Amino acid sequence: MTDLPKQTQRKLGLVIDLDTCVGCHACVTACKGWNTENYGAPLSDKDAYGADPVGTFLNRIHSYEVQPEQGCAQTIHFPKSCLHCDDAPCVTVCPTGASYKRVEDGIVLVNEDHCIGCGLCAWACPYGAREMDQTAGVMKKCTLCVDRIYNQNLPEEDRVPACVRTCPAGARHFGDFSDPQSNVSQLIAERGSLNLMPEQNTKPVNQYLPPRPKDTWTDVDSTATTSTPVAQEPKGFLAWLDRTLDSL
């Protein structure tokens, strides 16, 4: 079993704006591409174009239609990946120590050389954020692109997770939650956040910004005239055109 650090020097993580996410799956594609080509063993796919495809993804998008108490129904796109919990149950159940939480930045990782593919971490994770790579025989999970964020060979604007760099809607934000002046801390302070399944006491680092209330039709007068005719009776050329069209 692996012990969790009592405290980490930093708390790197994501803030995801559910009000802004459009469900385009750009983050899913970027994550799959980057982690297949760079970190660790490639993320495998089996029978990708067949009748029963199986693939490994570290980030997935789930879409839901919700009905608020007031107003119209709306679609919420919910990106799901590892939340890098402070009290991560996937770490403490690992029998080989393959799953661990880093002291320097709080990122939860898997040492693939030590993983035996037992699946206990997947059972322990209440968010379903662990995936078994069927080809490699080991567990895979979001790494916050640890090979990008510390890579001095990359331009500074690229030293963020691939999903954050790719998001066209600007719905994903990366930063240090231990710094109250960081961008992610300020977003949480301004908008509040959703703590997923707080009854599990996992203390997830990643946070979600709730959707803003949408416009409603309750105050709209459906009988009101939306536009005023330019002229009651057409004149000149328009009058001739009107008579001609009527005769057809």
Specify whether the CB–CB gap between 46 and 136 falls below 8 A: no
Query: Which runs of E-coded beta strand occur in 171-239?
Result: 172-176, 207-209
Average pLDDT on 25-44 reads: 84
Q: Is the pTM of this model over 0.85?
A: no
What's CA 179's distance to the chain center, in Å? 22
Mean pLDDT of 44-60: 84
What is the identity of the amino acid at 167?
C
Q: Are 31 and 37 in contact (CB under 8 A)?
A: no
Tokens of 72: 């119209």
CATH for the stretch 12-209: 3.30.70.20
**Torsion over CA: 74, 31, 126, 180 (sign):** negative
pLDDT digits (tens, 9 = 90+) for 161-215: 999 999 999 999 999 999 999 999 999 999 999 888 999 999 999 999 998 876 6
Query: What would you report as the CA-atom Rg of the chain, rounded to the nearest whole angstrom?
Result: 25
For residues 43-51, give the mean pLDDT: 81
Contact 175, 182 (CB under 8 A): yes
Supply the pLDDT for residue 234. Answer: 72
What's the CA gap between 83 and 206, in Å, rounded? 5
Residue 140 has pLDDT above 80, yes or no: yes
Residue 229's pLDDT is what? 61
222 pLDDT band (50/70/90 cuts)? low
pLDDT band at 219 (very low <50, low <70, confident <90, very high): low
Phi first, then psi: give them for residue 163, nearest 5 degrees: -65, -35
Sequence-distant (≥ 6) Cβ neighbours of residue 246 within 8 angstroms? none
- Number of residues that make up the chain: 248
Q: Which residue did the predictor score with more confidence, 54 or 84?
A: 84
Q: Taking the domains of the chain in order of start, what are their residue ranges?
A: 12-209
Instruction: Using pLDDT thresholds of 50, 70 and 90, give the confidence band for residue 118.
Output: very high
For residue 35, the number of C-alpha atoms closer than 13 Å in the C-beta half-sphere is 24
Residue 8: pLDDT over 70:
yes
* CB < 8 Å & 24+ apart, contacts of 145-149: 145/34, 145/35, 145/39, 146/39, 146/107, 146/109, 147/38, 147/39, 148/34, 148/38, 149/12, 149/174
Neighbouring C-beta atoms of residue 82, cutoff 10 Å: 28
| Between 46 and 217, residue with greater pLDDT | 46
Arithmetic mean of pLDDT, 226-248: 73
Q: Is the pLDDT of residue 231 over 70?
A: no
Look up tokens 């997830």; give the residue: 204
pLDDT for the residue 52: 83
- Residue of higher predicted confidence among 70 and 107: 107
From 54, 209, 91, 52, select the one nearest 43 (Cα to Cα): 54
The mean pLDDT value of the chain amounts to 88
Q: At 68, which helix (H) or strand (E)?
A: none
Strands, DSSP E only, in 82-146? 99-101, 108-110, 131-133, 138-140
pLDDT at residue 28, as a whole number: 95
- What is residue 53's predicted lDDT score, i.e. its pLDDT? 80
The predicted model gives 212-232 an average pLDDT of 61
Please state the rounded mean pLDDT for residues 150-158.
94
| pLDDT higher than 80, residue 220 | no
Q: What is the pLDDT of residue 55?
A: 85
Q: Please state, in angstroms and rounded to a whole number, the distance separating the CA atoms of residues 167 and 32.
A: 14
